[in-house]
Amino acid sequence: MAAKFFNLFPKMTFNDMSLVDITRHIVFQDIVKKYAVFFEKITIQDGQKPEDIAYDYYQDAGYHWIVLLANDMINPYYDWPLISNNLSKLVNDKYEDPNGVHHYETNRLSPLPIGTIVDESYSSGERDAITNFEYEDRLNESKRSIILVKKDFLPRILDEFDRKIVL
């Protein structure tokens, strides 16, 4: 069974209390991420949590932090894709009009590349209005494609994490 994530962190003393030093942060180097041999790409399904993916892939939900770490996700509440109901709530809370125009993008009739952000003065036949909901939905969907450390490399990652976290 995987050690609890914060059990791996060093302790510090503050006001005569022993605390976990949560100021430590480890990241996968970009150079390592370039090598597909270390990773497997997956798509997060609606409602899946990091613990679900860790359990399905590593047979241990305790490795959820590896899933987050491999994808540079610091805050699982904001970096992880929202379920449909929560996305609707976010959009309704964030915007006065969820169906209002967030911005405009060029379409196939424009000489500019499709999806280029333009203002409302750009030719109406060559631009499409993107609503607040569409914008937030796109952001949310972009979070669904993640990478997982392949099982064969997990022990190496755990050893390296142990070495780096205590520095």
Domain ranges for the chain, please list them.
5-81+144-165, 84-140
Task: Decide: 85 and 91 in contact? Cβ < 8 Å.
Answer: no
% pLDDT > 70, the chain: 81
Alpha-carbon distance of 29 to 161, in angstroms, equals 12
pLDDT band at 28; cut points 50, 70, 90:
low
Predicted TM-score (pTM) of the model is 0.75
**Max CA pair span of the chain:** 68
Q: Where are the alpha helices (DSSP H) in the chain?
A: 30-33, 50-58, 64-70, 84-94, 132-142, 154-165
- The answer to whether residue 132 scores a pLDDT higher than 50 is yes
% pLDDT > 90, the chain: 60
